[in-house]
Amino acid sequence: MQVLKGHVWKVGQDVDTDLIIAARYLNQSDPTYLAKHCLEDIFPKLNEKIKKGDILVAGKNFGCGSSREHAPLAIKHAGFSCVVAENYARIFYRNAINIGLPVIVSPETVKMTAAGDRLEVDLIKGIIRNITTEQTYQSETLPPFMMEILEKGGLIPYVSEKVKADV
């Protein structure tokens, strides 16, 4: 997977799935529709302002709450290339990998990064560079099988290959 580059949108800690995509929009599951309402109670009209590839930086326990996969889908389809957080709620983390949204754990980056900074994320090496402040951080890399899922574009393409191999 390529190196990701974008401007930072920053949110605080314990940002829950209702804030990422409110239940009032869950009567539909079309990703483009969900993306329109992504994080709207924090950043109204985010979808009009975001530039493709931008990076969401968050505090601890990002994505806590519901199991709705609509949350990582909304983030991905809003145009974010990845999320960098102090840590994640379990189901959100798993869902993000499964749908092919890279999620990086780096408390240092979160601390030293401001909204609007430009970041460069090398997923394979786990290196995050803040281009604005010229600082570099090393994050933990993903376990190889999760990296493989991401490279295949998510869990479904990964599993369907196995299904084909079984036949």
Supply 76's token pair. Answer: 């991905």
The verdict on 45 binding other proteins (CB under 8 A) reads no
Q: Compute the least distance from the CB of residue 70 to other proteins, in Å.
A: 7
Per-residue x/- marks for other proteins, 88-107, CB under 8 A? -xxx--xx--xx--------
Q: What is the number of residues in the chain?
A: 167
By CB under 8 A, the count of residues binding other proteins is 40
DSSP per-residue codes, 17-57: HHHHS-GGGTT---HHHHHHTTTTTTSTTHHHH--TT-EEE
Q: Compute the least distance from the CB of residue 90 to other proteins, in Å.
A: 5
Classified as helix, coil or strand, 91 is helix
Indicate the residue among 14 and 108 with the shorter CB distance to other proteins.
14
User: Are the CB atoms for 152 and 158 separated by under 8 Å?
Assistant: yes
Supply 41's token pair. Answer: 């109670």
User: Are the CB atoms for 63 and 15 separated by under 8 Å?
Assistant: yes
Q: How many CB atoms lie within 10 A of CB 68?
A: 22
Per-residue x/- marks for other proteins, 112-151, CB under 8 A? ---------------------------------x------
Query: Which residues of this chain interact with other proteins, rule CB under 8 A?
Result: 14, 16, 18-19, 22-24, 26-29, 41, 60-61, 64-70, 72-73, 87, 89-91, 94-95, 98-99, 145, 154-157, 159-160, 163-164
